[in-house]
Amino acid sequence: GAARPRVTFLGTGYLGATYAICYAELGYEVLGFDVDADKIAKLNSGEVPIHEPGLDELLRRNLAAGRLRFSTDIAETADFGDVHFICVGTPQRADGMGADLSYVEASVTGLAQHLTRKSLIVGKSTVPVGTAEWVEQLVGKHTPSDLGVEVAWSPEFLQEGFAVDDVLRPNRIVVGVKSEWANGMLYAAHKGVFDLAATEDREVPLVVTDFATAELVKVAANAFLATKISFINAMAEVCEAAGGDVTQLARAIGYDPRIGNRFLQAGLGFGGACLPKDIRAFQARAQELGAGEALRFLHEVDLINLRRRTRVLQLSADLLGRRSGPAGPDFSGTRIAVLGATFKPNTDDVRDAPALAVAGLLHKAGADVHVYDPQGAENARRAMPELNYETSMADAVTGADLVCVLTEWADFRNADPVALGELAAGRRVVDGRNCLDATLWTQAGWDYRGMGRP
């Protein structure tokens, strides 16, 4: 019944797999669906296809408890669930900045055609505002109207590396609904989260709103985060010109609680599967709606972010005494160690990773690039096979004329600059994430350059 509805998650990528597993952990009976038979087989045998701390253990425990199953059968999925969550990807369209909704369309259509009783379809994927209305029409077209299937929208705010906690202990739940029935079903589908919070003496705020607002909350939150990062990186540019130190500036402004000290880390900028693509899709959608002017600043946010990559190239050229030609600096004849390939630490994800992009630029400019990343090497090799991948920090640094630290892994933060100095051919380091102790590295004889620091 509605007290504990049976739930399905369509799409078992990063989002759907994490949600399916965590919902079983909350006590729900869960079915995960995907068209990819390989992924489904892996999940059913207890193997998580992504790297996310804590998820493996939860998967195995809940498979064993019989609360969790994965299937490629859409009819079975339709039959199983009272509430169906759509968690498929919405990648950037190949022809421009907007979002590709073909996976949403395919999964909703497939599901709707097999529904035989009243149930709720809930969108979770990040989509252009207006998609929920369109999904509702799609559902209307593919289900008999006497079934009374309804649609709702409930965005997610998962951060890679913290995804399990973000599902079990979200800082808010947002639902866009059109009826009391849908509102009640979604409340029941979130009850496990509220109950857990109560046992831990916390409260999870619930925002109940309309479709458009629910869809916008997600992209607005990501646009704000991207803007905050680009703001501090713009300050880094000014510090570079004026001779200031952006790390001290960030600390000083962050003490004002209205500003806050989080997401003020200047460096190589944001990447990943969400922020870059979401701010572009948001601009494209606003343009279509005639509100393009309101989001013109996001174009600037994007440009500031991309300029950070050029900055690392400039600093590298300065350190190596390379002059810039019209096509940028020439690095031929140099060996460069790139430490970090992922878009942030504690993940193996290299999608839109600034670190890997810079490694590629250095390679294009003639450098012999040797990359080391604690988790991301396999994905990086697939994305950029032309680079050399090493299995240790020492191997990457050995014989290098320059070291670029481009992802702030703890291993790099805690590395011993004296020992590394003995392996390198030249003690030159660009700290693309301002994560090293500049004093320690300088004392060990390294010529150190940070981002937005003198």
CB of 185 to ligand UDX, least distance (A): 24
Which of left, alpha, beta for 336 (phi over 0: left; psi -120 to 50: alpha)? beta
Taking the mean position of all CA atoms in its chain, how far away is CA 206?
23
Q: Which of 271, 360, 432, 450 binds ligand UDX (CB under 6 A)?
A: 271
- 265 annotated ligand-binding residue: yes
Among 68, 122, 275, 359, the residue binding ligand UDX under the rule CB under 6 A is: 275
Beta strands in 11-148 (DSSP E): 30-33, 68-71, 83-86, 120-123
Determine whether the annotation assigns residue 160 to a binding site.
yes
Q: Which stretch binds ligand UDX (CB under 6 A): 19-27, 58-66, 261-269, 313-321?
A: 261-269
Q: Is 287 exposed, middle or buried (0-12, 13-18, 19+ CB in 10 A)?
A: middle
Q: Does 172 engage in binding with ligand UDX (CB under 6 A)? A: no
Give the nearest distance from C-beta 176 to ligand UDX in angstroms: 17
Tell me how far, at minimum, the Cβ of 352 lies from ligand UDX, in Å. 8
84-123 residues near ligand UDX, rule: CB under 6 A: none
Q: Which residue number, 188 or 304, has a Cβ lying nearer to ligand UDX?
A: 304
Task: Report the C-alpha gap between 197 and 169 in whole angstroms.
Answer: 7
Annotated binding-site residue? 334: no
447, containing H or E segment:
strand 447-449
Residue 264 Cβ vs ligand UDX, minimum distance, rounded to whole Å = 5
Task: Please report, to the nearest 10 degrees, the dihedral formed by the alpha carbons of residues 152, 22, 13, 225 taken in order.
Answer: 70
Structure tokens at 158: 């998962």
Choice from 123, 267, 376, 450 touching ligand UDX (CB under 6 A): 267
159 part of the interface to ligand UDX, by CB under 6 A: yes
Instruction: State the nearest-atom distance from the C-beta of 342 to ligand UDX, in Å.
Output: 9
Residue 274 falls in the annotated catalytic set = yes
Query: In this chain, which of 33, 153, 270, 372 binds ligand UDX, going by CB under 6 A?
Result: 270
For 349-366, what is the HEC assignment? Answer: CCCCCHHHHHHHHHHHCC
* Matching residue, tokens 């900045």: 97
Q: Is 237 annotated as a binding residue?
A: no
Placement of tokens 């599901």 in the chain: 111
Taking the least distance from each CB to ligand UDX, the nearer of 5 and 272 is 272
Q: Kindly provide the residue ranges of all beta strands, DSSP E only, lying in 290-427, ordered along the sequence.
A: 324-325, 328-329, 335-339, 368-372, 388-389, 402-405
Query: Which residues participate in catalysis according to the annotation?
Result: 274
In the complex, the residues that contact ligand UDX under the rule CB under 6 A are 157-160, 222, 225, 229, 263-265, 267, 269-272, 274-275, 343-344
